[in-house]
Amino acid sequence: MRLASGLGLASIGGFGPFEVPWLEAKLAGRALYIVAGTIALRRGQAGRVRAVAIAMALLAFACIVSVALTKHTQGWLAGEMP
């Protein structure tokens, strides 16, 4: 639902989400976050699978935040802070 709302807000704002590279990276990170969170909370049967999924979800969240703050596809790795 939130992924769809992000796409909707981008199109209402007058630009396609796949025309702006940092927004595309943010939406891809969001999709990864949703999938990893679902595995961590519901689908992961083994403890190791859940642990890896939690780590992936946390990394995806950090990526989403860094891309949102820097407006750059590489996030904090790009070395540009506003």
What are the b/e assignments for 20-48, b being 16+ CB within 10 Å? Answer: bebbbbbbebbebbeebbebbeeebeeee
Annotated domain spans of the chain? 2-78
Confidence band of 80 (pLDDT split at 50, 70, 90): low
- Express each pLDDT in 50-61 by its tens digit: 899 999 999 999
Tokens 């890896």 belong to residue: 52
Q: Which residue has the higher pLDDT, 71 or 78?
A: 71
- Express each pLDDT in 25-66 by its tens digit: 888 899 999 999 998 888 767 888 889 999 999 999 999 999
pTM of the model: 0.74
